[in-house]
Amino acid sequence: METFKQFTFEAAHQTPPFSGLHGHTFVVCLYLQGEPDPIYGWSHNLDDVEGVIANVKRKIDHKYLNDVEGLEVPTLENLTRWLFNEFSSVLPGVDRIAVQRGTPGQTEGCTFGKTMRPRAA
């Protein structure tokens, strides 16, 4: 079983020479796994997870991502890996992170985490 929680944040970024300065509403989904609580059945109390999300969001929401340490090149993939590392460093049981940007029907996204298949040799 896994529990997931979605959140959004607004941020600007650019990836020269491919893109100039612009912004997105990023949609992030945090996937959690762990031992189920014998009473509530959950591995994570989402009330506690909300606090962790708020702390991570403070670093990126309404920010220019290129200025955030570790996000100097804020591609989808680097952002997703950065978010996985941020959450994994403070929250046990983070299995993977999915990040989406763009409008429905033109959404681009990336998933990174523990369940990624090892890179083909």
Ligand X SMILES: Nc1nc2c(c(=O)[nH]1)N=C([C@H](O)[C@H](O)COP(=O)(O)OP(=O)(O)OP(=O)(O)O)CN2
How far is the C-alpha of 117 from the C-alpha of 96, rounded, in Å? 12
Nearest-CB residue for ligand X? 19
10 or 77: CB nearest ligand X: 77
The string of DSSP letters for 50-66 reads HHHHHHHHHHHTTEEGG
Q: Helices (H), strands (E): how many in the chain?
A: 2, 5
Q: Which stretch binds ligand X (CB under 6 A): 16-24, 31-39, 41-49, 88-96?
A: 16-24
Binding-site member from 3, 100, 101, 112 for ligand X (CB under 6 A): 101
Q: Does 40 bind ligand X (CB under 6 A)?
A: no
